[in-house]
Amino acid sequence: MFRAIAHDFREAFTGLARHLAMALSAASAVMVTLVLVSVLAIVVANVSQITRNIESDIQIYATIKDDVADDKVDALVQQVKTISGVTGVTFSSKDQELTKFIDSYGDDGKIFEIYRNDNPLKRALYIDVASGSLLSQVSGQIEAISGISKVDFGGTTVESFITVLNDVRFGGMVFVIALTVLAMFLISNTIKMTIYARNKEIGIMRQVGASNGYIRRPFVLEGIFIGLLGALVPIALTIVGYRYLYEALGGQLVSGMLSLLPVKPFAYQLSAILAAIGMTVGLIGSLFSVNRYLRWKR
């Protein structure tokens, strides 16, 4: 078995050396494609991170009517919790609301301490939602509850922004898949040309009794090596480029809510994925081409 494996690797490297121009052509096609895949993956991953951060920080703010007795508040909280999409509800008393209001003004807010004994603010509920796309729907159901005075979550602008981010994430994923298929097609065609250029060699092996598996394995290994070779430059650009981008932006866009994924482990995980994609594309592309040729020659 080990002798057969050694033979397959030797034949694969020999084939690459003999047809270096074609191998480099295929590797270049994989390289360009994987660079685009890397860029899109970085965008998609960070958009997903930003979307999660925004959704985790957005809460629905609902005030409670003054005529709701204190002993009825718990029942009101439980009623809100039963709404589909609600993941948590926090009650804030009038005194707590005034404290938050004062703290929001810093040292200048101390002047509002005079309202501590005659607090004009309302009791409030802070509601967490499972997804930003549910904000309008959940807000409408909360507003319909008897005892709720007013509901606010930032308006449709926030919801529209989250929708745009989700669209960008979905579109990026579609492009990544499309580019992977394109890389597979390019390497498949290049391997097919390589196989065609070596049809006499394959024909001689068939005449001396070589099995399809014996012929196929070196070509498949060639495809894997070509895919890995094409992934080396995208991996280097991903690690170096993303580290530079992360440090240049200070790890965030505008504010902490729009924070980027840290270089470690994200860039290294993406690099491993690029290597895996390159080798898988090479394997499938070469396997598809050599199988089709062997069927045609049967």
Residue-wise pLDDT for 36-58, tens only, equals 888 888 888 888 787 777 766 67
Residue 283 has pLDDT above 90, yes or no: no
Residue 91 has which token pair? 């009650």
Q: Where in the chain is the domain with CATH 3.30.70.3040?
A: 59-153
pLDDT of residue 270: 92
Return the number of other C-beta atoms located less than 10 Å from residue 109's C-beta: 15
pLDDT tens profile 118-176: 888 899 999 988 877 778 888 889 988 888 888 887 656 666 777 777 787 788 788 87
CATH assignment of 59-153, given 3.40.1690.10, 3.30.499.10, 3.30.70.3040, 3.40.50.150? 3.30.70.3040
* The predicted structure's pLDDT at residue 293: 65
- The C-alpha atoms of residue 249 and residue 255 are separated, in whole angstroms, by 11
Comparing 105 with 197, the larger pLDDT belongs to 105
What tokens does 98 get? 């005034």
